[in-house]
Amino acid sequence: MTTSTSESDIQLDPVALLNERFTAGIARAFPDAAGRADALIAPSKKATMGDFQCNAAMALGKMVGQKPRDVAEAIVAAVDIGDIAQPLDATSIAGPGFINITLRSDALAGLLGELGRPDLGLPPASEPQTIVVDLCGVNLAKQMHVGHIRAIVIGDAIARTFERLGHKVIRQNHVGDWGLPIAMVVDYLHREREAGRLDLDTLSLDDLDVIYKAMKKRTGAGRTGLQIAQKLDLGPKVIAELEAEVADADEALAEAKSTLIALQAGEEWAVALWQRISDITMGACIAACQRMHTRITLEASAGESSYRDELAPMVEDLIKRNVAEEDGGALVVRGEGKDPPALVRKGDGGFLYATTDIAAIRRRVQEFGASRVIYCVDVRQALHFRQVFAAAHKAGYATTPDGVEASLEHAAFGTILGTDNKPFKTRSGESVKLQDLLDEAHDRARAAADRSDHVSDADREKTAETVAMTALKFADLSTDRVRDYVFDFDRILAFEGDTGPYLLNALVRIKSIFREAQQRGVDAEWAEAELRVEHEAEKQLAMALLRYPSVVRAVAEHLEPHRLCQQLLEIATRFSSFYQSCKVLGAEDEATRASRLRLCELTARVLEDGLDVLGLPTLDRM
Ligand code: ARG
């Protein structure tokens, strides 16, 4: 399912416009090749060759058995672009059959005028969809670490993109808050409290993290060691020690199981402890989400526990309708392809991560009415999602009440690496706490803010925080999401290069132009003045700005925020060239100054809108 341009949207993107015109021209000139030949519009490599070129003639020549040059001539004769570009003729054809295209300045100015509408060329969707975005996905009693940045930042940016396009977005934070691991922590807290060793009021997430790890270790202790020791016959003493460890692990596990049963039965003492763990974890989680300038709230959290009563009846339904089948004592749902089946019930009757995710799809599609469900989760869970999606489709749970098959999509992301190209860890080899990472980014940005004369003392703290969050988020959003990326504080916080601070700087610079205009008493009539696109740098800026709406739509379609990051960088870079080569306030005449002020204003609006779509906070000075 796509969120492509609706009929009422005006096409502003020069590349798309040229593609449309050339595709139509090719269809007229070569009806047999229509629909098969790509117009292949690309930016020109050299400014002297025009703005764009059409490279269709080469492949088309092969297809129709003619010389590319003749094909190019036929295309030139058939294409109708006089209203947006210099007329094409034989001199437009270069080399074997490249067609050079130069856009008309007045046409660009006209398109820019359209872009300048309040919606910046992105009117609300005429048929809004309901879209669920699964994001964040923390686990109770565990510290958030660096990997969570991605599920928070990319997920929220994707959600915001849909919101910008007028869709109804439901964020879902699928918290890992149920099952044996949590029961182990509840069990431990219960015992400690009975022994008078626990103060629930001062319990922190760090404490819970320690307890969680200790309990995991205790319940897993000895088992593999014992197997090895028995196999290698390491002697009675070693074996006896390991046997004691395993016995202890078994005991801890049995206790945790009985606590899980108490939790499932809703026993007050267990539920109260669980609630405390949840409050502590979610408090820290939502605070981090807020600090990172996202729209992820507590209300958007639907933990695994919220599905607990739905699992048994759902699995019964799967059995009754022959969707699930027995497999060696367990219950599975087989997909069509080569993937192993989804395991929905273990031999001991327990449900799994996959069972809950299938129930979540059913709720999201059938209760919320989502026609798209997007999972912003680590790429290492790709198989899990393929299995779960296949099972949900097979079960009919991915069909909306109106009979529409929802699109289930895994927007997978890669790992954050350290500068040594290995997964980003602390010096002692632990995963980096999210909070520590945010604090360090802040401290480094603060040091830069302290050195700036443009920031007042009162603003330094806020400036540092804004720069830090924009830098971190931009770094996470600007590379192709499925790829791993190297995290380097110095690089991402730099004001030069492909960074968030570079974008902020461009915006701040434009704002300062307007402050200066006001000081100089430039009257505001420029806002109504005629837009002119004359200088080459103005033209380049205009062409980058005009791509904005189509890039935002492409982000929604492909779930790739990095496309917008790249476009905003392009706009900022071209603005900087424009500002270097074209005087704005000191322009040669009134009309030029007014037009350039409009161009500045439009650039600022596009940058601000784009930063907001990505969820990057901005500022007025830095
Ligand atoms: N809590 C899970 C984990 O830490 C992530 C949840 C992702 N969302 C989902 N619907 N499975 O791996």
pLDDT higher than threshold 70 for residue 536? yes
281 lines ligand 1 (CB under 6 A): no
One-letter amino acid identity for 340? P
pTM (predicted TM-score): 0.94
Beta-strand relationship, 98-101 and 52-54? antiparallel
Residue 137: CB within 6 Å of ligand 1?
yes
pLDDT in tens, 283-320: 999 999 999 999 999 999 999 999 999 999 999 999 99
Q: Is the pLDDT of residue 5 over 80?
A: no
244 assigned to some structural domain? yes
My answer on whether 278 and 303 are in the same domain is no
Cα–Cα distances in angstroms (integers) from residue 17 to residues 10, 73, 149, 249, 566, in the given order? 10, 20, 37, 67, 21
Ligand 1 pocket mutation, candidates 136, 139, 431, criterion most atoms within 8 A of CB: 139
Mean pLDDT of the region 528-551 = 96
Closest CA to ligand 1's atom 3: 137
What's the length of the chain? Answer: 622
Q: Is 51 in the pocket of ligand 1 (CB under 6 A)?
A: no
Q: What angle do CA 90, 91, 97 make, to 5 degrees?
A: 70
Q: For residue 385, give the ligand 1 atom closest to its CA.
A: 11
> Do residues 595 and 602 lie in contact, with contact meaning Cβ atoms separated by under 8 Å?
no
Residues 489 and 589 in one domain: yes
Q: Whose CA is nearest to atom 2 of ligand 1?
A: 137
User: How many angstroms separate the CA atoms of 302 and 364, rounded?
Assistant: 11
The rounded Å distance from CA 178 to ligand 1 centre is 12
Cα–Cα distances in angstroms (integers) from residue 541 to residues 19, 533, 581, 582, 602, in the given order? 20, 9, 12, 12, 10
- Cite the DSSP H helix spans in 195-338: 205-220, 223-232, 236-264, 268-291, 308-320
Based on the domain organization, do 169 and 189 belong to the same domain?
no
Mean pLDDT of 526-552: 95
**Residue 559 neighbours by CB under 8 Å, 6+ apart:** 158, 374, 409, 411, 481
The answer to whether residue 58 sits within a structural domain is yes
Q: Is residue 319 part of a domain?
A: yes
Are 123 and 9 in contact by the 8 Å Cβ rule? The answer is yes
Does the structure show a pLDDT above 90 at 37? no
* Residue to probe by mutation, ligand 1, list 133, 158, 174, 282, most atoms within 8 Å of CB: 174
Identify the residue whose C-alpha is closest to ligand 1 atom 9. 174
> Which range (397-406, 520-529, 589-598) has the least confidence?
520-529
Q: Would 418 be classed as within a structural domain?
A: no
pLDDT band at 46 (very low <50, low <70, confident <90, very high): confident
CA of 391 to the centre of ligand 1 (A): 17
DSSP 568-614: HHHHHHHHHHHHHHS-STT-SSHHHHHHHHHHHHHHHHHHHHHHHHH
Q: Is 174 near ligand 1, meaning CB less than 6 Å away?
A: yes
**pLDDT of 1 above 80:** no
Same domain, 492 and 571: yes
How far apart are the CA of 455 and the centre of ligand 1, in A? Answer: 41
Q: Is 173 helix (H, G, I), strand (E, B) or coil?
A: strand
Mutate to test the pocket of ligand 1, among 132, 134, 305, 410 (most ligand atoms within 8 A of CB): 134
161/271 same-domain check: no
The mean pLDDT value for 132-158 works out to: 96
| Cβ within 8 Å of residue 471, ≥6 positions away | 441, 445, 492, 493, 499, 500, 501
Nearest ligand 1 atom, CA 377: 7
Q: What is the mean pLDDT of residues 370-378?
A: 98
Rounded CA Rg of the chain: 30
The protein residue whose alpha carbon is closest to atom 6 in ligand 1 is 137
Ligand 1 atom with the shortest distance to the CA of 378: 12
pLDDT digits (tens, 9 = 90+) for 230-275: 888 888 888 998 899 899 899 999 999 999 999 999 999 999 999 9
- The mean of the pLDDT values for the chain is 94
CA dist 220 and 372 (Å) reads 39
- 139 touches ligand 1 (CB under 6 Å): yes
**Is any atom of ligand 1 closer than 6 Å to the C-beta of 539?**
no
Helices (H), ranges, 222-267: 223-232, 236-264
The region of weakest confidence among 22-31, 94-103, 354-363, 524-533 is 524-533
Same domain, 305 and 392: yes
* Residue 49 bridge partners (DSSP): none
Q: How far apart are CA 57 and CA 38, in angstroms?
A: 10
Ligand 1 pocket, mutate which of 134, 139, 381 (most atoms under 8 A from CB): 381
What is the per-residue pLDDT across 490-522, written as a single tens digit (0 to 9) for each?
A: 999 999 999 999 999 999 999 999 999 999 998
CATH code (residue 24): 3.30.1360.70
- Atom 7 in ligand 1: residue holding the nearest Cα: 137
- What atom of ligand 1 comes closest to residue 357's alpha carbon? 10
Same domain, 473 and 558: yes
Q: Tell whether 577 is covered by a domain.
A: yes
Q: Token digits for 255? A: 């206790």
Rounded CA separation 244/236 (Å)? 12
Measure 618 CA to ligand 1 centroid, in angstroms.
31
Instruction: Provide the percentage of residues in the chain whose pLDDT is more than 70.
Output: 99
Structure tokens at 416: 């954050």
Give the pLDDT confidence score for residue 247 in this predicted structure: 92
CA of 477 to the centre of ligand 1 (A): 20
The 10s digit of each residue's pLDDT in 85-95 is: 999 999 999 99
Q: Pick from 358, 332, 335: which is nearest to 346 by CA?
A: 332
Q: Is 93 helix (H, G, I), strand (E, B) or coil?
A: strand
Q: Which atom of ligand 1 is nearest to the CA of 353?
A: 11
Regarding whether 608 and 521 lie in a shared domain, the answer is: yes
- Which pLDDT does position 2 carry in this prediction? 43
Q: How many CB atoms lie within 10 A of CB 427?
A: 5
What backbone phi and psi angles, to 5 degrees, belong to 85?
-140, 165
CA of 533 to the centre of ligand 1 (A): 50
Ligand 1, closest atom to CA 384? 11
Any domain includes 427: no
472 and 610 both lie in a single domain: yes
* Strands 372-375, 130-134: pairing kind: parallel
- Which domain-ending residue is among 282, 303, 326? 282
Q: What is the mean pLDDT of residues 361-370?
A: 98
Residue at which a domain ends, from 282, 315, 333:
282
Ligand 1 mean position, distance from CA 98 (Å): 50
Tell whether 110 is covered by a domain.
no
Give me the CATH number covering residue 538.
1.10.730.10
Residue 3 clears pLDDT 50, i.e. is over it:
no
**494 and 610 part of one domain:** yes
Residues 358 and 488 in one domain: no
Q: Spell out a b/e string for 433-456, using b for 16 or more CB atoms within 10 Å of the CB, else e.
A: bbbebbeebbebbbebbeeeeebe
Cβ–ligand 1 distance for 377 under 6 Å, the answer yes
Please tell me whether residue 55 adopts helix, strand or coil conformation. coil
Q: What's the confidence (pLDDT) of residue 107?
A: 96
Cα gap 462→213, rounded to integer Å: 36
Pair 34, 138 in one domain? no
377 CA to middle of ligand 1, Å?
A: 7
User: For residue 410, which of 149, 130, 154, 167 has the smallest C-alpha distance?
Assistant: 154
Domain with 405, as residue range(s), is 130-177+293-410
The model's confidence at residue 9, banded by pLDDT at 50, 70 and 90, is low
| CA distances from residue 445 to 341, 416, 424, 493, 599 in whole angstroms, order as listed | 49, 20, 20, 7, 31
Residue 121 C-alpha to ligand 1 middle, in angstroms?
36
Is the minimum distance from the CB of 134 to ligand 1 under 6 angstroms?
A: yes
Instruction: Identify the domain boundary among 240, 257, 282.
Output: 282
How many domains, the chain? 4
pLDDT in tens, 415-427: 999 999 999 998 8
Cα of 315 vs centre of ligand 1, distance in Å, is 20
Q: Determine the Cα–Cα distance for residues 487 and 536; give it in Å rounded to an integer.
A: 37
Does any domain span residue 256? yes
